[in-house]
Each structure stands twice: as structure tokens, then as C-alpha cells.
Structure 1
Amino acid sequence: MATQAQSSSQNGMIAAESKLEANANPAAKPSFPEGGVRAWSVVFGASIALGCAFGYLSAFGNYEAYYSEHQLAQKTASEIAWIGSIQIFLQYITSLISGSLFDLHGAKILLILGSISFVFSIMMTSLCRKYYQAILAQGILGGLSTGFIFTPSLAAIGHYFQKKRGLAMGICAAGSSLGGLLFPIALKHALYSRRLGFGWGVRVVGFVVLGLLAIACTLVRERLPPRKGRFFLLRAFLQPSYSFLVAAVFLSFWGMWVPCFFIVSFAIQKKHMGGNLAFYTLSIVNAGSLLGRIIPGFLADVCVYAANSIMLLGWIRITTAAGLIAWAAVFGFVSGAIISLYPVSIAQLAPRPQEIGTYMGQASAVVSVAGLTGTPIAGALIRSYGYEAAALFAGLSMVVCTCLAAVSRGFYAGKLLAKV
């Protein structure tokens, strides 16, 4: 009897909480402009923001190669990779907070704080000469900063688009790819410039980022009133489609970032090409990613994950410069599709647009662990067994990811190859 009474009391409390949340968050579905000057200006501003945050992070392969030859030459590839991995981890784990803050308070203050601290991070990186300094300035501060830029920028788009959300987020994600195309080239010339040197080369990049983020902060804004209620929405993980999708993206990040961190050093150490051309392979990856983040919005996400599995498993079989360039372009296309499809899929699972930021932030928090651990694991495998082992690790991670994504789509749409 006592147990029944306790259960009844708990059920009553849950019902009361649900009723309170429902009253605080009216169920009326909002309308979406699906276009217009303001809506597309938000997409443009968010594209710039992601181009700076995500694009700069995508260029870490250049830092990896430079550090290994200069101030961190005594460190292993795995140790240097921790700098970028910490940055990825903190960018996504911070989204757990910034996503909910966006839903509750809007984008403006988050973007301003994130932009200021990100530029400061780049300026401090220009002064780094020791390993711990790079960890603090580039890894920790850089990751925390971009976490306040990344999720609010993407989530704001969900306030303006529903039917065209995939296209709008794809265009926004293409901005990060464009940044990933340009930043490696800029950093390559800046880091090895005899006139600028490492310090001023990185600072020049920082000033460019400052100007671009000022534009982004002006353009990106929310449209809908903030939601009320709890800071986190942990009930999302009770949705099988959400949980399996988050697990799939986790494994995709284990696989996807390995070439981004090690393709330059792979090209140089395997003597496929000279150092100058090798530095451009990362830009080639991001050039392919530019198209990959727009076009595959019309394709099934499971197919995209499967294509990534094939590319990663085939990476190590490349033996010529021409083959590596072609592989980099195709891999950029299929990996870019992951960056485009994953936030669209997460947003689609959120019951209301005012919950998109929280849903994205919670997913990003889980994915952050993959960003932290994936590339150091690959670096350790390279040191002990060679690049073949790292490619196998990345490829098999993506194979399991494909299976989990198929299960997620099965729960959501009742068939495995449902379109996003």
C-alpha cells in the first residue's frame, strides 16, 4: 500500500510538472518565414560565425605539422593532437550550456562573449612556445570560446525555417567549410612567412577573425520568445531515435577527424608529395566539404555515413600524390555531409523550435568525448603501428556509426533509408 501511495504521489508530481511546463510553453505551433531578408541575413551571419569557429578548428592539421617541426618537435603526434582534441571537446561540451542559454535568453550576449574570448585565444596562441601554453591558449580557451559561437548560431536558424531548414543549415555549414578551405591556406603562408613568422602570422589571422565575427554578432539573432522551464531537457534521451542518432554521431566524430588532423603529416612522412603541396591537402578536403555540406541535405543520412566508412577504410591504400588529392576531395564531400546532416537531424527531433538549442547542446556534450579521445587514439596507433592502424580505427568507427544511424532512422520514420 505504501509503495502504491508513493508511486501515485510521484506520478502526480510528474503530471504537475508536465502541466506547469505546458502552461509556461504554449503548444501553439509558431509560423516560420521560410525566407526574407532577415532570415537569410541570419543564415549569412551564422555561416560567417561557423566559418571562423569550425573552419579555424578544421585547420589544426597545419598546426599539427608545424608544431612537430618547430617549438614542439620533442612531442609525439599523439601529444600534439591533444591540443586540437581538447579544443574539439570543449567546443562541444560547452554547447551543453550555450544551447540551453540560447533557448532561454537568446543569441546576442553568447556570440559577443564567445567572439571576444576566441580572438583573445588566437592572440595568446601567437605567443605560445611551450606545450602547456598551447594547451591553455589554443586548446582550452579556444574550445570554450567556440562553444558559445557554434550552437547558438546554428540554433537561431531553426527560428526562421522549417521546410527549408535543411537547406538553410546546409548553407550555414558550408560557411564552416569555406573557412576550412581558406584558413589552412592562410595559416600555411602565415606560419612559414619569413616576414611575419609564427607570432605575427597567427595574429594577422586573429585580426581577420575579429572583423568577421563582428559582422556575425550583428546579423545573428533569435526570432521566437524564449522557452520557460528546465535548463536541460534530459527527456530527449528517452527518444530512441535521438539516443541512437547521438551515439552514431559520436562514432562518426571518432572517425571523421582522424584525416583532418593527420593527412598533412601522412602526405609528408609517406613522401607522397613535398611539404608545400602537402599543406594544401587539408584545403582540398575542405573544398570538397563545401559542396558536401549543401548537396547531401537531399540524401539519406545513412548513405552518407556508409560512404564515409568506405572512404576511411580506403584512405591508407593511397600511394600517389594524384590519388591522395582525389581522395581528399571526395572525402571532403562525404565528411562535409555529416557536418550538415547531423544538426538538421537533431533539430528535426526537437518537438518545438525553442528546444532546438538544448537538443543540440545535449547531443554535442556527448559527442565532445569523441572529439577529445578520437585523434589521440589515432595518434597513439600511428606511433605504435603506423597509419594503417589509424585508418582502420577511423573506418570501423564509421561502420558502426552507419548501423546506429540506420536504427535511429528506423525508429523515427519506420524505414531505414528515410530522407532527412
Structure 2
Amino acid sequence: MAITSDIKLDKVDVTYVTYSEKTPEIQSQSSRAALVPRGLLDDEQPDAESRPLPPGPDDFPEGGTRGWLVAAGTAGIMFCTLGYANSFGVFQAYYIQNQLKDHTPDDVSWIGSLQVFLVFAVGVLGGPVFDRYGPWVIRPAAVLYFVSVMLTASCKSYWQFMLVQGVLSGMSNSLLMFPSMAATPQYFFKKRGAAMGMAIAGSSLGAIVFPIVLSQLLEKIGFEWAVRTCGFIMIPILAFSAIVIKARLPPRQSNFFVMTAFRNPRYVTLIGAVFCQFLGMFTGLFFLPTYGIFRGMDASQAFYLVAIINAASLPGRIIPGILGDKFGSINSLVGAGLTTSIIILCWPTTFTSAGIYAFSVFFGFTSGAIISAGSVVFTHCAPNPREIGTWMGQGIAVASIAILIGPPINGALLSRFHGFDELSLFSGVMCLMGTVLALIAKVYTKEGILGKV
């Protein structure tokens, strides 16, 4: 162990001191805690061999059979969780015409916004739970989530939908989604954007399948069995995911929150960027079927708009992830936010069915890129790969407040003005503001605002 006296007092962090038989002068201090602040002692400092180093890019396996199986398992969970939640536009339009026809659009939108908010907000627990205990949490959460889907089929009143589809489904959804999302980055560094894009693309596939299933079955066999059919589809997929998702790194015993993360200006600015973009982009997912009916489409056609949006978001979540590995995940978020804001601002100019279908395709592609890039940018802020789940979970949890308040705000605008112009203007400007904040976040990187980051 090297003993030095030129300790820098302004560099304070924590390391483990390794004791040796050849250093009795250090052994005589064994009564002191083994965990000491490096930089505060004026007479000792561990050498390079005894100092734990953070894992670098070369420490990641970059996939392999196990890594890609974990990514596939994450895609399966995303299919069943966020894919199903992103189908709420179908439920929104159906409830307004059936079970909840006595309620306003903003009342109904609270069910879906609460569900999606809890999906992301409870991630502040789901990510750290995975960091601490590994993937075991996925199995009981899968059972609870399946139960919530089955109970939704039996709901009749507003408060029942709010409790079951909003609260129970949202919370169990999150405890499935975030542990799986925290597992995938442990296997990838250089290919992390592509792997996460593939995993998150499962939600797009689910949001294609479930709206089609619902639109076909709601009128044929009724609401109860249409929703139960969705639950039965989830069973084998959730079982596969629960088996293949494994942690690569050992459990990390620490607090559920890394409060020092909020001292990182890049991290905080990115939270603001994702918040604003979420505030704008979820409008289309919730209200496009209602807009289709507003423009004269029949209900079955309008329900398919959700499937079209999510079909387009499938490549929108994969391609920007691959490009993000090459050009930078923040750059990917900037491009996604800018194009989405332009498309949303053009929304009220679509009058025909063909125009609405075209809008759905473009909006689906660009908004899907926001979901993909918005998750990856937080993983690159974490200084330690073992804290990826916590940094990502708490970052998205704060940003998800936008999902809770955004759709009801837009529902209130729709009820107040009886049109979509004000709704489009508000959502487009919010996405544009998020784009500006993402650019500002680049200032806090070593690559700078023009760099590939």
C-alpha cells in the first residue's frame, strides 16, 4: 500500500481500504472503519490495485445468447404491459359511447392517464428492487397484473375502472416493466441503444395486436370476453419472460433513491426534456380515435388508428435506437421531439380518413422514437452500471407526471373548445420545448452541443 501526503481535499469519494501484513502502520488503525472517505485522510491512500474501478465498456458482454434472451424477455413484458396500456385510446372511445357515456372525455382520460402514470412512476421502486434482489419480482408482479386485466373485464362503474384499470393495473404493470428494462442494459454498452430499442419495440407490437383484438371482439362477443381474451394472450408471453430474464451483476445493497443524481445538471435537464415531450406526445395515443369519430369515421375504423400508430412506432423505436448508438441517444431524442412537434401541430389540418391514416403513421414513427430514446438517455447518466435501474427508474418516474396531467388537460381543452386546434397547439409546443431542453442537456456533456452524444 502506497502512503502519500499529497491528498487533494477537493476530490472526496468512497473506496475500500485493503490491509496487508506488510503494512503494520496501517494495521494498527484497524479499529477505524474499513470504509473511509478517500481524500480526507492526510497520511494514507490505497494503491491502484486495492481501489475498486467502475466497469468500463470492455466489461460488458455485448449480448451473447443470454443477453439477447434477456432482451427478448423484456420485449415480451413490454408487449403485455406498455403495449396494452398504449391501447387505451380504444377504451377511451368505447367508454365514452358505452359504460361511461355520462362522463366527460377528460373524466374518462383520467383512467388511462393514471394507469400510464403509475406504470412509469412506480418504476422508481421497480428499478431499485431489481438492483437489490434480481428478477424474482417479475413472477409475482406478472400474476398480479394478469389478475388486474381479468378484473377490468368485470368493471361497470367509473370508480371501479379507476381502481382496477387505473391503479392496480398501472402499479403491477410497472413492477413488471422496470425490472426487465433494468436487466437488459447490464449486458450491453456499445449496442445498448439497439438492444433497448428492440426490447421496447415489444410495446409497439403489443399496441398493434391488442387494439385489433379489441376492435374485432368488442362488438362480437362483448366487453368482458374481449378483455379476458387479451389476458389469455398474455399468459404464455409472461411465462417465457419470467424464465429467461436474469441479472448479470450481483445484487446491490443501497438506498432506493440516488438523490445525488439530481445534482447532475445533464440528468435534471433530460428529465425536463422527457417531461415536456411526454406532455405532448401522449395526446395522440389517447385522443386520435376520438378525433377519427369527430371527423366522421365509424367506431371500428377509429379503433384501428391506435393499431396504426403503434405499427408505425415499431420501426420508430428500433431504428432511432440503432442510430442513437452511432450518433448519440440525446441527438436521437432531439430529432424525435422536433419531428413529433411539427406533426402534432399539423394534426387539425387532416380532414379525410386517408389524411388521418397518414397522420397516424408519421406520428407513430416519431413518437415511438421518443419512448425509445427517452429511456436510453438516463442509462448513460449513471456512473455505475449497477445503478442503471435506479437512475432510469427515478428519472422516468419524475417525467411521468406529465402523463398523469397531460391527457386530462387535453380532455379539458376538448370539452371547453369543442375542437382539436387548441389541443394540437398545446401538445406541439410542449414537444418543441422538450426538444430545446434536450439540446441544452448536451451542453453538460464533454462532447458539447454539436457532439455525438
Normalising by the smaller structure, the TM-score range is over 0.9
Give the counterpart of 2:316 among 283, 288, 292.
Answer: 292
Contact 1:21 1:228 in 2 (8 A): no
Alpha carbons 2:201, 2:318 under 8 Å: kept: yes
Distance 1:20 1:360 in 2: 28
Match of 1:276 among 291, 295, 300: 300
CA distance in 2, matches of 1:36, 1:274: 48
Q: Unaligned regions of 5+ residues in structure 1, if any?
A: 1-10
RMSD: 2.1
For residue 186 of structure 2, give the secondary structure of its aligned residue in structure 1: coil
Q: Deviations over 1:317-346 (max 9, x none)?
A: 111111111111011111000111111111
Tell me what 2:181 maps to. Answer: 154
For 2:291 and 2:79, locate their aligned partners in 1 and report how far apart those are by CA, in whole Å: 25
Indicate conservation of the 8 Å contact 1:302/1:402, yes or no: yes
* Residue pair 2:375, 2:396 contacting (<8 A) in 1 also: no
Alpha-carbon offset, residue 32 of structure 1: 1.2
Q: How many angstroms does 1:360 deviate by?
A: 0.9
Which of 91, 98, 101 is the aligned partner of 2:129? 101
TM-score by length of 2: 0.86
Aligned mates of 1:418, 1:110 — CA distance in 2: 39
Amino acid at match of 1:389: E
- The correspondence for 1:262, drawn from 256, 264, 287, is 287
| 8 Å contact kept, 1:406–1:417 | no
Kindly provide the amino acid, as one letter, of the partner of residue 333 in structure 1: F
How much has 1:368 moved relative to structure 2? 2.3
Find the counterpart in structure 1 of residue 276 from structure 2.
251
What is aligned with 1:383?
415
Identity of aligned residues (%): 40
2:89 to 37, 61, 72: 61
* 1:138 and 2:165 aligned: yes
Residue 202 of structure 1, aligned match among 214, 227, 249: 227
* Equivalent residue in structure 2 for 1:81, among 109, 127, 131: 109
Q: What is the CA-CA distance between 1:26 and the residue it aligns to?
A: 3.8
**C-alpha separation in 1, matches of 2:367 and 2:450:** 18
The alignment covers a number of residue pairs equal to: 405
Give the match for residue 7 of structure 1. Answer: none
The residue number in structure 2 matching 1:29 is 55
Deviations 1:59-103 (A, max 9, x none): 000000110111111011100000001101111111111111111
- Measured after TM superposition, the shift of residue 117 of structure 1 is 1.0
Residues 19-418 of structure 1 mapped to structure 2, 5 A cutoff: 26-29=52-55, 31-107=59-135, 109-193=136-220, 196-271=221-296, 273-297=297-321, 298-299=323-324, 300=331, 301-385=333-417, 386-418=419-451
Mapped to 2, the partners of 1:184 and 1:413 lie a distance apart of: 44
- Check 1:231–1:275 CA distance in 2 against 1; reply closer, same or farther (3 A cut): closer
Determine the C-alpha separation between the residues in 1 that align with 2:255 and 2:53.
16
- Secondary structure of the residue aligned to 1:222 is coil
Deviations 1:154-187 (Å, cap 9, x if unpaired)?
Answer: 1101110001000000101111111111111111
**CA apart distance, 1:21:** 9.1
Deviates more, 1:55-64 or 1:148-157: 148-157
Structure possessing the higher relative contact order (Cα contacts under 8 Å, 6 or more residues apart): 1
Cα deviation, 1:209-248, whole Å, max 9, x if unaligned, reads: 1221111111111111122333211111111110000111
Letter in 1 for 2:449: L
Residue of structure 1 in register with 2:42 after alignment: none
Q: Which has the larger radius of gyration?
A: 2
Q: Is the 8 A contact 1:174 1:290 kept in 2?
A: yes
What is the SS of the residue equivalent to 1:279? helix
Tell me how far apart the structure 2 counterparts of residues 15 and 154 of structure 1 sit (CA, whole Å): 29
Task: Judge conservation of contact 1:49–1:212 (CA < 8 Å) in 2.
Answer: yes
Amino acid at match of 2:138: L
Unpaired segments ≥5 residues, structure 2: 1-8, 17-34, 39-45, 325-330
Please give the alpha-carbon distance, in whole angstroms, between the structure 1 residues aligned to 2:154 and 2:52. Answer: 51
- Would the alpha carbon gap of residues 209 and 412 (structure 1) be closer, same or farther in structure 2, given more than 3 Å must change? same
Q: Which has the higher helix share?
A: 1
